[in-house]
Amino acid sequence: MGFFSKGVDKIIEAGKAERERRAAEEEANKKRYSSPETIDEDNENSVKTPQVKELNMKEVVVTNIDISFGSMVWLMIKFAFATIPAAIVVGAIYFFSYAFLAGFLSSR
């Protein structure tokens, strides 16, 4: 049992370290994106730095998608049909590039 508890302790410590890193990163982003507008009054060509409100950016990690088998099959069928126009466009690009290069190289 001691082997597993050491592993769990490492995971807990890694989680704490990750939360601290994210908190520090969020604090740095707050400082970076909440600077007031600065204008150099003496220089008419000065660059204005607009004030940006705090961004509520959160990192999202998807760990599981609960989807029924029938819905998954239907999604894959739609995906397969969506690739047909893309394959036609890519095939046309290859065809015309090959025709251009073949015509250009054979005329020499």
59: tokens are 């990192």
Mind listing the pLDDT tens digit for each residue in 8-57?
788 888 888 889 999 888 888 777 766 555 555 555 555 555 555 566 67
How does residue 106 score in pLDDT terms, banded at 50, 70 and 90?
confident
pLDDT, mean of residues 76-97? 95
pTM for the structure as a whole: 0.36
What is the structure's pLDDT at 7? 72
- Going by C-beta distance under 8 Å and a sequence separation of 6 or more, which residues neighbour residue 48? 37, 38, 39
42: tokens are 């003496």
- Rounded to whole angstroms, the Cα distance separating 23 from 29 reads 10
